[in-house]
């Protein structure tokens, strides 16, 4: 102070204003404001947006575990030094909108896992740079996908998946079957058609299994990204009815169906069973001690009606089947009985005539 006057002193300070590129704010991060290597402020963007003496500073930190390279900041007196953190966002989605029911994705940076879990869990804000997305979908590994994140931009990553859709030929759904979906010989899903109709990474797969105890030939197919791959199980239906040689339906005939010596199905009178098509089956029908066999090969996707004939003849009498041999035997018995009765009647008639004749002309007759 000179002669009662004051001399103002201006402190040469400025302000650091920190923001993220394009307003993309990370969910997890820490920033550090350094001066000559010493941390003078740390925390969020607002925590390091402070008023400081003019000079040279730097900002570093970590964003979702990824180190942020030091950013030089020059603060001039009375000025605001704006600092933009170079971040971008990764947006992960599945091809064709096919979202798997079971999967895990991993986001890595220089071999370090940055985030893991669902698609949303790895769709995060990160420092600009090159990253990799990998993981496992329905038990099948997803090859690493490289993604470059540019400052202020959204980098889209599409996981190359498709869907397996399993159906049965001709809409014929078996009552008993088991299917298994394989990848490189490894079973990744098994059970019903819906159990193996799943979302998987693009690639080549094999469907195996059995229908009514009969194995199906392996079905190999390719799944393309964003598309649905259809796999049709080649089945047929056998509808078998037992008949006699003269066309009478036998409700009590035993019917069995075998494949390579193994029984597939059995029933009485009639039988319907869905089996793999295009292969041969042996049908056996038995009744009244007589058995007949035949071999059939049903076409895939069709219903094959089979008349299984027992080489006997007969008729339905009073609601029951009577073999022709039995009818002949009964007829013979009836004929014999009739003959016997006729003979007896004739003998009885002769006896009466002789008796009457004896009474009229015998001793004592007048």
CATH code at position 178: 2.60.40.1120
Residue of 69 and 8 predicted with greater confidence: 69
Q: How is residue 289 written in tokens?
A: 């001690």
Please report whether residue 361 resides in a domain: no
- The pLDDT confidence band at residue 332, using thresholds 50, 70 and 90, is confident
Q: Could you say which of 31, 55, 85 is where a domain stops? A: 85
b vs e for 318-328, b when ≥16 Cβ sit within 10 Å of the residue's Cβ? Answer: eeebebeeeee
- Comparing 88-92, 176-180, 218-222, 247-251, the range with the smallest average pLDDT is 247-251
pLDDT value at position 119?
A: 98
Cβ atoms 312, 249 nearer than 8 A = no
- Calculate mean pLDDT across residues 23-49: 96
Please report whether residue 200 resides in a domain: yes
Q: Are residues 93 and 79 in the same domain?
A: no
**Rounded CA separation 323/237 (Å):** 31
Q: Could you say which of 207, 233, 259 is where a domain stops? A: 233
Please report whether residue 77 resides in a domain: yes
Q: Are residues 220 and 271 in the same domain?
A: no
Q: Are residues 170 and 196 in the same domain?
A: yes
User: What mean pLDDT, rounded, does the chain reach?
Assistant: 92
CA dist 352 to 190, 358, 366, Å? 92, 10, 21
- Comparing 118-132, 182-196, 326-340, the range with the smallest average pLDDT is 326-340
Q: Are residues 81 and 92 in the same domain?
A: no
Of the chain, the percentage scoring pLDDT greater than 70 comes to: 92
Radius of gyration of the chain (CA): 47
Residue-range definition of the domain harbouring residue 260: 236-312
Please report whether residue 194 resides in a domain: yes
pLDDT value at position 321?
A: 61
Q: Are residues 126 and 192 in the same domain?
A: no
pLDDT value at position 150?
A: 98
Helix (H, G, I), strand (E, B) or coil at 248: coil
pLDDT value at position 195?
A: 98
- The pLDDT confidence band at residue 343, using thresholds 50, 70 and 90, is confident
CATH number at residue 124: 2.60.40.10
Q: How is residue 343 written in tokens?
A: 């003979």
Q: Are residues 78 and 99 in the same domain?
A: no
- The pLDDT confidence band at residue 53, using thresholds 50, 70 and 90, is very high
CA dist 215 to 50, 171, 211, 218, 260, Å? 74, 19, 6, 9, 11
pLDDT value at position 358?
A: 66
pLDDT value at position 311?
A: 86
The torsion region of residue 55 among left (phi > 0), alpha (psi -120 to 50) and beta comes to left
Q: Are residues 300 and 243 in the same domain?
A: yes
Q: Are residues 168 and 219 in the same domain?
A: yes
Question: Is 90 exceeded by the pLDDT of residue 331?
Answer: no
Q: Are residues 253 and 296 in the same domain?
A: yes
Q: Are residues 139 and 185 in the same domain?
A: no
Question: Could you report the per-residue pLDDT of 263-317, keeping only the tens digit for each?
Answer: 999 999 999 999 999 999 999 999 988 999 999 999 999 999 999 998 875 555 5
Please report whether residue 359 resides in a domain: no
Q: What total of structural domains would you count in the chain?
A: 4
Please report whether residue 330 resides in a domain: no
- The pLDDT confidence band at residue 324, using thresholds 50, 70 and 90, is low
Q: Could you say which of 295, 312, 329 is where a domain stops? A: 312
């Amino acid at each position: 102070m000179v002669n009662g006057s004051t001399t103002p002193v201006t402190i040469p300070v400025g302000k650091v204003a920190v923001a993220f590129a394009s307003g993309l704010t990370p969910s997890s991060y820490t920033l550090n404001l350094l001066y000559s290597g010493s941390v003078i402020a740390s925390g969020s963007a607002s925590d390091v947006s402070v008023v400081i003496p003019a000079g040279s500073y730097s900002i570093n930190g970590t964003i979702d575990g990824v180190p942020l390279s030091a950013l030089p900041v020059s603060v001039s007196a009375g000025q605001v030094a704006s600092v933009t953190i170079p971040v971008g966002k990764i947006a992960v989605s599945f091809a064709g909108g096919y979202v798997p029911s079971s999967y895990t994705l991993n986001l890595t940076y220089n071999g370090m896992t940055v985030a893991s879990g669902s698609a949303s869990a790895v769709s995060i804000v990160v420092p600009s740079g090159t990253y990799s997305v990998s993981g496992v979908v329905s038990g099948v590994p997803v090859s690493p996908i490289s993604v470059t994140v540019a400052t202020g931009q959204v980098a889209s990553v599409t996981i190359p998946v498709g869907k397996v859709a399993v159906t049965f030929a001709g809409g014929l759904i078996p009552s008993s079957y088991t299917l298994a979906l394989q990848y490189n010989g490894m079973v990744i899903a098994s059970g019903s058609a819906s159990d193996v109709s799943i979302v998987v990474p693009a690639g080549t797969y094999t469907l195996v299994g059995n229908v009514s105890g009969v194995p199906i030939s392996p079905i190999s197919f390719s799944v393309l990204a964003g598309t649905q791959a259809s796999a049709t199980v080649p089945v047929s239906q056998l509808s078998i009815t037992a008949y006699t040689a003269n066309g009478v339906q036998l409700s009590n005939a035993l019917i069995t169906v075998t494949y390579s010596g193994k029984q597939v199905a059995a029933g009485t009178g009639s039988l319907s069973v869905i089996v793999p098509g295009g292969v041969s089956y042996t049908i056996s029908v038995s009744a009244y001690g007589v058995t007949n066999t035949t071999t059939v090969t049903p076409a895939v996707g069709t219903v094959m009606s089979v008349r299984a004939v027992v080489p006997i003849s007969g008729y339905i009498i009073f609601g029951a089947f009577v073999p022709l041999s039995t009818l002949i035997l009964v007829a013979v018995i009836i004929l014999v009985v009739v003959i016997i009765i006729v003979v007896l009647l004739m003998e009885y008639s002769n006896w009466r005539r002789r008796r009457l004749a004896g009474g009229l002309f015998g001793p004592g007759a007048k």
